[in-house]
Structure 1
Amino acid sequence: MKAVMYYGKEDLRVEEIEEPQVRPGTVKIAPAYNGICGSDLHLYHDGPMPPAPTEETAHPISGETLPVVLGHEFSGVVEEIGEGVEGLSVGDRVVVEPLMVDGTCPACQIGKYNLCEKMGFIGISGLGGGMSEHIVVEKRWVHPVGGMPLDQAAMIEPLSVALHAVKHAGVEAGQTAVVSGAGPIGLLVAAVLRAKGLRTIVSEVSTTRREKALSSGVADVVVDPSREDLNEVVSAQTEGAGAAVAFDAAGIPAVVTQLLSVLGAGGHLEVVAIHTRPVELDVTGLLTMQDRSMGSSVGYAGDHAEAIELVQSGKVDLSPFITSVIRPDEVVEKGFQRLIENKDSEVKILVALGEQG
């Protein structure tokens, strides 16, 4: 079968590899669509980093070294059911929660398997990937999506990241939330907030992304922080009370301070973005003396079912965020290079597999 293989920094190849075989307790899936994620971009642009293996060092759970099949944001159709699998049928539309965990570490034992000490990702750490014609996955990670369009279903994985962050922040309907950064995760965080009854103010310097936040209906107000005073806008929108909650989906140190300053008394900042360098904070002035809290979240644990329900119920519409669909043989030029060079014009690029490709 054909698959997009990740060999390392700026090295992706479409190759023929051996087709995986179903085993007891597993499900064989024909991937339909696979989204290109920010993690994939980092791997392509910067080279392998955990949880990806290297040519010399295997991932502790998959046992694989590079190259590996790429792709962890994917949807597909069940092709074959392994012995002992119940609740799924051939032909079911599904998404995969693309995790590999040891199940024995302290985090796994308390249900926080997204924090597993040996955490790995299908499509990054081995065990196949979504950019292939077939994949075999343990049943526990397979979630049916009913009649949901498979292109939208491929976005359930990043939607689950956004949902996990919103739940972790402890939001309440009726609150005003500020989201900084209108990339894929920031837009999806805003979508979940709107679905849960919050008013959203999205801060983003890119004109195209601000327009997407408005046209998709996930933002009540958009702000260009390079031209407008975010504090003044939030104050005006909240009658001087400040926002109840804010989300950093930008990953820029200055944004953390900015978001803390727009919070009202007792407000909460949730960091969703990955910061690549330390952030300096005036803890006393911005946190302690305002009785504010700050937290962060990563990935998901038990969130996929609710994310699927948000889409099936019509509370979240994922279709506006799919901006391009490409074939596997276009993944470098029209996928990774486009996202690196023209990131403001794209939200989510999907790779169509099988008949879709």
Structure 2
Amino acid sequence: MRAARYYGKEDVRIDEVDEPQVRPGTVKIAPAYNGICGSDLHLYHEGPITPAPTETDAHPISGETLPVVFGHEFSGVVEEIGEGVEGYEVGDHVVVEPLMVDGTCPACQIGKYNLCEKMGFIGISGLGGGLAEHIVVEQRWVHQVGDMPLDQAALIEPLSVAVHAVRHAGIGPDAAGQVAVVGGAGPIGLLTAAVLRAYGLKTIVSEVSEVRRNKAKESGVADITVDPTTQDLKEVVREETNGAMARVAFDAAGVAVVLDQLFDSLGAGGRLEVVAIHTKPYELNITGRLTMQDREISSSIGYANDHPESVRLVREGLVNLEPFITSRIKVDDIVEQGYQKLLDDRSEVKILVSMK
């Protein structure tokens, strides 16, 4: 079968590889669409980082070294069902929660398997990937999506990152009417705003890029958009909340100045949730920013038991993923029209890749 395999920095090749065979407890899937995310871009342009293996160091769970089949944000159709698997039928539309965990470490034992000491990703660390004609996955990671269009279903994985962040911040459907601020309108920022809107919060999205601000507004996930280079986010929030300020803010930018602005937008007892990955240290005045305002700061990564909620939000019409699909390409064009275009074109949110 054909598969896109990652060999290292700026080296992805379309290879012929052995087709995986179904095993007891597994489901064989024909991937339909695969989204390209920020981690894929980093791996392609910068080279292997954890949890990707290298040419010499195998991932501790998959046992694989480079090259590995690429692609972890994907939807597909069930082709075959392994012995002992119940509740699935050939032809079912599904998505894959692309994790590999040991199940024995302390994090796994308390249900926080997204923090597994040996955690890896299908499509990054081995065990196949979405950029292949077939993949075999353990049943526990396969989620049915019903009649959800398969292109939209490919966004369930990043949507689950947003769902996890919102839940981690203590926000649920009972928070309707509160005001939330999202800093950054990249894919995760937009999806975080979408989840907040689904739960009935009023969303203020701050983003320097005009095209991304427009996407936040046009897609309906932002009630208000702010250009922090020309507007004072703090004052906008003050006006919209009659001085109470925001209950919660989400950092989806990973930049220190954005954190400063988000802290300023919070009210007394507010909470800042960091979703972005920061590559540089951030200096925090704990007394001024947190203690004297009785505030909280927390951060979240990935997802754990969040895919079913993501599927529910989309199937019940509370989140519309269609506006975030900005391009569809073939796997043969993945470098030029995928990895390169996402670096150069700020209007792109999610590029979907298909094998056919």
**1:119, 1:220 → 2: CA distance?**
37
Deviation at 1:182, TM superposition (A): 0.3
Q: Deviation string for 1:120-160 (max 9, x for gaps)?
A: 00000000000000000000000010000000000000000
Q: Paired residue for 1:88?
A: 88
Q: Paired residue for 2:242?
A: 239
What is the aligned counterpart of 1:205 among 185, 203, 208?
A: 208
**2:11, 2:343 → 1: CA distance?**
15
Moved over 3 A (4+): none
Q: Paired residue for 1:273?
A: 276
Q: Paired residue for 1:308?
A: 311
Q: Paired residue for 1:346?
A: 348
Q: Deviation string for 1:1-22 (max 9, x for gaps)?
A: 0011100011111111111000
Deviation at 1:43, TM superposition (A): 0.5
Secondary structure of 1:89's aligned partner: coil
Q: Paired residue for 1:35?
A: 35
Secondary structure of 1:340's aligned partner: helix
User: Number of paired residues?
Assistant: 353
Is this contact kept in 2: 1:24–1:84, CA < 8 A? yes
Query: Which amino acid in 2 is paired with 1:229?
Result: D
Q: Deviation string for 1:199-232 (max 9, x for gaps)?
A: 0000001111000101100000000001111111
Q: Which runs of 5+ in 2 are unaligned?
A: none
Say if 2:19 is the partner of 1:6.
Answer: no
**1:98, 1:305 → 2: CA distance?**
14
Say if 2:136 is the partner of 1:133.
Answer: no
Say if 2:20 is the partner of 1:20.
Answer: yes
Q: Which runs of 5+ in 1 are unaligned?
A: none
Is this contact kept in 2: 1:257–1:281, CA < 8 A? no
| TM-score relative to the length of structure 1 | 0.98
**2:44, 2:2 → 1: CA distance?**
19
Deviation at 1:256, TM superposition (A): 1.2
Query: Which amino acid in 1 is paired with 2:325?
Result: I
Is this contact kept in 2: 1:54–1:65, CA < 8 A? yes
| TM-score relative to the length of structure 2 | 0.99
**2:343, 2:210 → 1: CA distance?**
17
What is the aligned counterpart of 1:190 among 165, 188, 193?
A: 193
**2:264, 2:236 → 1: CA distance?**
12
Identity of aligned residues (%): 74
What is the aligned counterpart of 1:179 among 182, 201, 210?
A: 182
Q: Deviation string for 1:154-213 (max 9, x for gaps)?
A: 000000000000000012221100000000000000000000010000000111100010
Aligned-residue RMSD, C-alpha: 0.6
**1:229, 1:306 → 2: CA distance?**
35
**2:286, 2:76 → 1: CA distance?**
46
**2:64, 2:195 → 1: CA distance?**
36
Q: Paired residue for 1:162?
A: 162
